[in-house]
Amino acid sequence: MASQGYNNPSSATNANTGQPWTDISLVTAPDGRYATNSFSTSVSSQRIKVSGFGFNLPSDATVTGMELIIRAKEGTGDPVAFSEVQITLRSGVQTSSRHNDYGELATVDTDYVFGGPGDLWGETSVSVTDVNNSTFGARIRMTVNGSVGGNTASVDWIGLRVYYVTPGTTVKHVTGAVKANPGRSRFVRLSEVF
């Protein structure tokens, strides 16, 4: 199995309703500079919409999984958590699966990883055309819950990795003895594509 990424997005914008992010363009690189959102009590953020990841998968590839990494933290106050994490496919269409696999954010920079090598995020298939398109990306929303008085969320970076296989992928041959009948061994060669 091969992969490309983590790639950085070239575009980051606020989308839809909710509390907007400040300095949202700063999520495009892991450089210790942050897009921030100062939440009031029990409020959701606008979605961070990222795209332009610059993938260049071979035309004969089969996409097997997609993995999103978000480097983020919260301040001191009400708990902040991911409420929606989705991959954006062709022309802005969202994947059918929304990940929110973590609870409250940590108060130090933490890498939150969503998806993986075998995760197509609820889709039956994802095409190379989808992945190589400039609209391919992700959108993320966070929510603060509580009554202390709100909190601040900070996002340093959002990266995306794509896993795939191609025809004629390297074949590993293993030779061993298998006893098919008592007192008799037969040598066979097993092939594994990886």
Query: Is the distance from CB of 165 to CB of 64 less than 8 angstroms?
Result: yes
Tens digit of pLDDT for each residue in 32-81? 999 999 988 778 999 999 999 999 999 999 999 999 999 999 999 999 99
Give the pLDDT score at 141.
94
Residue 6: asked if its preceding bond is cis (omega within 30°), the reply is yes
Q: How far is CA 102 from CA 26, 142, 147, in A?
A: 23, 11, 21
Query: Is the distance from CB of 142 to CB of 45 less than 8 angstroms?
Result: yes
* 108 vs 146, more confident: 108
Enumerate the domain spans of the chain. Answer: 2-168
* 175 vs 142, more confident: 142
Give the pLDDT score at 180.
42
Give the pLDDT score at 158.
98
User: Token match 């210790």: residue?
Assistant: 32
Bridge partners, 82 (sequence order): 142
Give me 35's structure tokens.
């897009």
Mean pLDDT of the chain: 86
List, as one string, the DSSP characters of 69-94.
EEEEEE-SSS-EEEEEEEEE-GGGPB
Q: Which fold has domain 2-168?
A: Jelly Rolls (2.60.120)
> Is the pLDDT reported for residue 178 higher than 60?
no
Bridge partners, 191 (sequence order): 173
Q: Three-state DSSP class for 62?
A: strand
Residue 170: band (very low, low, confident or very high) from pLDDT cuts 50, 70, 90:
low
Tens digit of pLDDT for each residue in 90-124? 767 778 777 877 889 999 999 999 999 999 999 99
